[in-house]
């Protein structure tokens, strides 16, 4: 009796897991990963702080006050003030808006273009693939930071142009990933079946191939947000990214560098914010990869 009940329960649970399907498995695996949850928490908290910045700040980020220069962190100014007496906490939160927004925009641009190019290469193959792949090879053989710097020098400064410069550097990698996953999928029977039933090529690509290539693209994208923030800050640091009056973590950091000796908070806090964001996205990306591809994890 008990045994048959247990058997039935096993069967039920087996059916249940079947019901939740692949997506459920992925979500369950992801939520079991503690490090990944830590990453998710860091990013959600950062996003809330940055998006709802007006609620968490007392001073506008641009308000200067000469008598309050270089105030050490205190109740009134949680992170202190900078060389113009501007509240660093406000500047961090509003600066995060620019840093994250530019990073995400660059990511979207590079991935959308990359996906389109990669899909064309992988799906059609032949001479189109050959030519585009060679161009991508060339772009990838230029070190990323150098290409971004050269592109930023050509495009000029400002958030939109910085995003484009960084998107150019990231595009070949997205295209490469997309191309190889399309190549591995297009030989499957379901693609052939879709074609046999008369689906147009666009429909085959969008409805049948694209959903199956999303996993590596998503993982790559998550990892890229972090590295994009690093690149944006790097560009701002060299003076080719977002310019001084607009707060951005990298530009705050590079502007504060000359005061590092006497007033460390002005460099330490932007660094902490950049570091936390990178850390959060890195471990989130790792966790996503493990969840999407269980073979990679022990």
Partner 1 sequence: MIKYIIKRLLLLIPVLLGVLIIVFTITYLTPGDPVVSLLGSSYTPETYAAKAAEMGLDKGYFGQLGTYIFNIFTKFDFGKSYMTNNPVVESLMARAPVTAKIAMITVVIALCVGIPCGIIAAIKQYSILDYGFTSFALLSSAIPSFVLAPVFLVIFGVKLKWLPLSGLTSFKSYILPILVSAIGGFALITRMTRNSMLETIRQDYIRTARAKGMRMNAVIRKHALKNALIPVITVTGSWFAMLMGGSLIVEMIFTIPGLGTYLYSGISNRDYPIINGSVFLTSSIVCIMSIVVDILYTVVDPRIKTQFVKKKKTKVKKTEGENA
Contacting positions for partner 1 (CB under 8 A): 134-135, 137-139, 141-147, 149-151, 153-154, 156, 226, 230, 233-234, 237-240, 250, 253-254, 257, 260-261, 264, 267-268, 271, 274-276, 278-279, 282-283, 298
Closest residue by Cα to residue 61 from 84, 101, 88 = 88
Q: How far is the CB of 93 from partner 1 (least distance, A)?
A: 19
Can you tell me whether residue 81 is helix, strand or coil?
strand
CB neighbours of 204 closer than 8 A, spacing ≥ 6? 191, 194, 195
Q: Cβ distance 190 to 134 under 8 Å?
A: no
Long-range contact set of residues 14-21: C-beta below 8 Å, sequence gap at least 24: none
Structure tokens at 28: 């369950």
Nearer to partner 1, 205 or 232 (CB): 232
Nearer to partner 1, 166 or 194 (CB): 166
Nearer to partner 1, 116 or 142 (CB): 142
Nearer to partner 1, 174 or 270 (CB): 270
Q: How far is the CB of 17 from partner 1 (least distance, A)?
A: 26
Q: Rounded to an integer, what distance in angstroms lies between the CA atom of residue 125 and that of residue 77?
A: 59
Q: How far is the CB of 122 from partner 1 (least distance, A)?
A: 21
Q: Cβ distance 218 to 292 under 8 Å?
A: yes
Nearer to partner 1, 89 or 281 (CB): 281
Q: How far is the CB of 273 from partner 1 (least distance, A)?
A: 11
Nearer to partner 1, 177 or 191 (CB): 177
DSSP 293: -
Q: Environment class of residue 118 by beta-carbon count within 10 Å: exposed (0-12), middle (13-18) or buried (19+)?
A: buried
Q: Environment class of residue 220 by beta-carbon count within 10 Å: exposed (0-12), middle (13-18) or buried (19+)?
A: buried
Q: Cβ distance 205 to 275 under 8 Å?
A: no
Q: How far is the CB of 287 from partner 1 (least distance, A)?
A: 12
Q: How far is the CB of 233 from partner 1 (least distance, A)?
A: 6
Nearer to partner 1, 123 or 250 (CB): 250
Q: Rounded to an integer, what distance in angstroms lies between the CA atom of residue 263 and that of residue 270?
A: 13
Q: How far is the CB of 260 from partner 1 (least distance, A)?
A: 5
């Amino acid at each position: 009796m008990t045994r048959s009940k247990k058997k039935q329960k096993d069967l039920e649970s087996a059916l249940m897991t079947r019901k939740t399907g692949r997506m459920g498995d992925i979500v369950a695996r992801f939520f079991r990963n503690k490090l990944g949850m830590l990453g998710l928490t860091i990013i959600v908290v950062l996003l809330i702080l940055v998006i709802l910045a007006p609620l968490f700040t007392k001073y506008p980020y641009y308000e200067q006050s000469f008598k309050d220069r270089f105030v050490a962190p205190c109740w009134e100014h949680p992170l202190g003030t900078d060389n113009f007496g501007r509240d660093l906490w406000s500047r961090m939160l509003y600066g995060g808006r620019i840093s994250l927004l530019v990073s995400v925009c660059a990511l979207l641009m590079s991935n959308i273009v990359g996906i389109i190019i990669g899909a064309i290469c992988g799906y059609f193959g032949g001479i189109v693939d050959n030519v585009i792949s060679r161009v991508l090879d060339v772009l990838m053989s230029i070190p990323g930071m150098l290409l971004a710097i050269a592109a930023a020098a050509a495009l000029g400064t400002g958030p939109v142009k910085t995003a484009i410069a960084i998107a150019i550097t990231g595009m070949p990698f997205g295209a490469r990933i997309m191309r190889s996953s399309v190549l591995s999928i297009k030989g499957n029977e379901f693609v052939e079946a879709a074609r046999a039933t008369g689906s147009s090529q666009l429909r085959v690509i969008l409805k049948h191939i694209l959903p199956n290539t999303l996993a590596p693209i998503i993982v790559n994208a998550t990892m890229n947000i972090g590295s994009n923030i690093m690149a944006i800050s790097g560009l701002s640091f060299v003076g080719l990214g977002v310019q001084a009056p607009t707060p951005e973590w990298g530009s705050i950091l590079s502007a504060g560098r000359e005061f590092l000796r006497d007033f460390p908070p002005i460099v330490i806090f932007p660094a902490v914010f950049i570091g936390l964001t990178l850390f959060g996205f890195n471990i989130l990306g790792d966790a996503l990869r493990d969840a999407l591809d269980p073979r990679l994890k022990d």
